[in-house]
Amino acid sequence: NTAPPPPHVVLVPLMAQGHIIPMLDMARLLAERGTFVTFITTPVNALRIKPIIVRVHESNLPIDFIELPFPCTEAGLPPGCENCDLIPSNDLFPTFFSALQLLAHRLEQRLKDLVPHPTCMINDMFNPWTANVARSLNIRRLVFHGPSCIHIYCSHVFHLHKIYETVTDEFEEIAVPGLTDYDDAGRSFKVCRMHAPGWFNWPGYEKLREEVLHAEEAADGVVINTFDDVEPMFVEAYKKVVGKDVWTVGSLCLYDKDDDFSARIVRGNKAAVDQEKLLCWLDSMEENSVLYVSFGSLIRMNVGQILEIGSGLQASEVPFIWVIKDAEKCPKVEEWLEGFERRMSFRSFVIKGWAPQAVILSHKSVGGFVSHCGWNSTLEAVSNGVPMITWPQFGDQFLNERLVVEFLRIGIAIGVKIPVFNYGEDEIRVRRDDVERTVRSLMNDGEVAEERRIRAREIKEKAIKSMEEGGSSYENITKLVEYMKQEPRKVVQRTKA
């Protein structure tokens, strides 16, 4: 009797850093747990993750990378616009999603003759077009959710966007079905239209929304980058209603334990910083004393807002690392930063461009994180026990903020209630006083701040446990690999949930 061939899974991420990075972690994790992996990328994105590709090849992990030519010209995008963070203006986002759909035929052609034949596909929820490819190749398809379960539950399940249409006030709170007993007083979890549906309610995205929902209903199962202890109420509620297998496999960032520091430090982009210098600086700081300020891969702050943040950080008297994207595109910011960095050189480290975030957050000197609450950033903070100042911008981030501030109680809200796109381009959303006040509250030695740090350490321990043998995410990954071993031909593709 010969052993059956290993399962072969095809991973299709959304071409955006916040989606590629956890999928890459998952690729390495599944490969180490006995699966053959094919990872779909495009030429520009492949170049960004090259250190990881090289590392994978060196370590003989069974992962193949397939580069699909990206149809920029056909779709009406500028050449090279292959990642969400390269889209030059917000009105081109729907065009970007249409361009992705054009990859369907190319993907099918590349997969149909692959040996061994894929047994399973895991597609990012934003790639609903993969449903047809999986169906025509007769392979199972699982949806991967990069965002949190709290968001998936409140926006996808029950098609809540329809309920939100019934209220006129953006801030009127609606009790989300199935989420009773949210707080100590036994109240239901409530959300308002301004915060819950994220991109689901944006004009121009109706077609994508319907496709995403339909592809999710038709999928054979769901994989989520979360862990049960970080949002138990939402994971449980989701599992109850979704009617198919759900594997919670996070925090995927904890899997990134590559001993080659240069591959680890990059995590999907070339870091715009001298690693040695940064680590030396961090090593010279006291434990838990440094604040890290960064707003993910997509958010760009206007000039006025950058100056307000800088002034607030300066007034707070706390040492900080501050990540600023596209500073070089604005001479006024560059000029201002020159003076700022000179004034603050004794306690600041400014990174203009891509920061090695995972490394920074895991350093013992880092004791606070001003974050936009993207789910990866949130999980990275949680998994490293770093308390947060929450400044959500759009999408799932307002709900992630509530998880951090109300549920886990490891963060302080900076007080933003309105998504970034509802502001004027040059409008200032947060004043320097609010930056200073929240930074001082988070980083001081008082009892409340200390209790917050203790809770952050407790949830970090739970995050680590969940990824260790016997932990919930570890066991779910075992079950997922077992599931992928099943004979593909026994599988009946769902057409509707």
Q: Which of residues 415-444 bind ligand UDP (CB under 6 A)?
A: none
Q: Contacts with ligand UDP: how many residues (CB under 6 A)?
A: 18
Q: Which is nearer to ligand UDP, 103 or 323 (CB)?
A: 323
d(CA 117, CA 371): 42
Q: Which is nearer to ligand UDP, 246 or 298 (CB)?
A: 298
Least separation, in Å, of the C-beta of 335 and ligand UDP?
22
Least separation, in Å, of the C-beta of 356 and ligand UDP?
6
Cβ atoms 203, 478 nearer than 8 A:
no
Q: Does 45 bind ligand UDP (CB under 6 A)?
A: no
Among 298, 301, 386, 388, binds ligand UDP (CB under 6 A): 298
Least separation, in Å, of the C-beta of 388 and ligand UDP?
12
First to last CA, the chain: 38
Among 301, 323, 324, 350, binds ligand UDP (CB under 6 A): 323
Q: Which is nearer to ligand UDP, 358 or 412 (CB)?
A: 358
Among 297, 365, 384, 473, binds ligand UDP (CB under 6 A): 297
Phi-psi region of 243 (alpha: psi -120 to 50; beta: other; left: phi over 0): left
Among 250, 296, 411, 471, binds ligand UDP (CB under 6 A): 296
% helix, strand, coil for the chain, step of 5: 50, 15, 40
Least separation, in Å, of the C-beta of 292 and ligand UDP?
10
DSSP H helices in 102-244:
103-112, 130-137, 149-151, 160-165, 206-218, 232-242
Least separation, in Å, of the C-beta of 220 and ligand UDP?
25
d(CA 465, CA 263): 24
- Buried b vs exposed e over 130-160: b needs ≥16 C-beta within 10 Å? bbbbbeebebbbbbbbbbbbbbbbbbbbeeb
Q: Does 358 bind ligand UDP (CB under 6 A)?
A: yes
Among 14, 21, 208, 467, binds ligand UDP (CB under 6 A): 21
Q: Which is nearer to ligand UDP, 49 or 133 (CB)?
A: 49
Cβ atoms 377, 371 nearer than 8 A:
yes
Q: Which is nearer to ligand UDP, 171 or 421 (CB)?
A: 421
Least separation, in Å, of the C-beta of 406 and ligand UDP?
20
Q: Which is nearer to ligand UDP, 326 or 482 (CB)?
A: 326
Nearest to 286 by CA among 209, 368, 214: 368
Q: Does 148 bind ligand UDP (CB under 6 A)?
A: no
Question: CA-based diameter of the chain, in Å?
Answer: 72
Q: Which is nearer to ligand UDP, 36 or 394 (CB)?
A: 394
Among 41, 316, 357, 472, binds ligand UDP (CB under 6 A): 357
Q: Which is nearer to ligand UDP, 119 or 123 (CB)?
A: 123
**Contacts (Cβ under 8 Å, ≥6 apart) of 485:** 4, 6, 7, 119
Cβ atoms 239, 222 nearer than 8 A:
no
| Cβ burial, residue 280 (10 Å; 0-12/13-18/19+) | exposed
Residue type, 493: Q
| Stretch of 171-179, 342-350, 352-360, 453-461 lying at the interface with ligand UDP (CB under 6 A) | 352-360
Cβ atoms 334, 308 nearer than 8 A:
no
Cβ atoms 155, 191 nearer than 8 A:
no
Q: Which of residues 245-284 bind ligand UDP (CB under 6 A)?
A: 267
| Cβ burial, residue 214 (10 Å; 0-12/13-18/19+) | middle
CA dihedral 143, 251, 86, 76 (to 10 degrees): 0
Least separation, in Å, of the C-beta of 380 and ligand UDP?
5
Among 354, 369, 391, 398, binds ligand UDP (CB under 6 A): 354
Binding to ligand UDP by CB under 6 A, coded x per residue (else -) over 365-404, reads ---------xxxx--x------------------------
Q: Which is nearer to ligand UDP, 164 or 394 (CB)?
A: 394
Among 17, 35, 248, 472, binds ligand UDP (CB under 6 A): 17
Q: Which is nearer to ligand UDP, 196 or 298 (CB)?
A: 298
**Contacts (Cβ under 8 Å, ≥6 apart) of 453:** 288, 367, 385, 387
Least separation, in Å, of the C-beta of 400 and ligand UDP?
9
Please give the residue ranges that form the binding site for ligand UDP (CB under 6 A). Answer: 17-18, 21, 267, 294, 296-298, 323, 354-355, 357-358, 374-377, 380
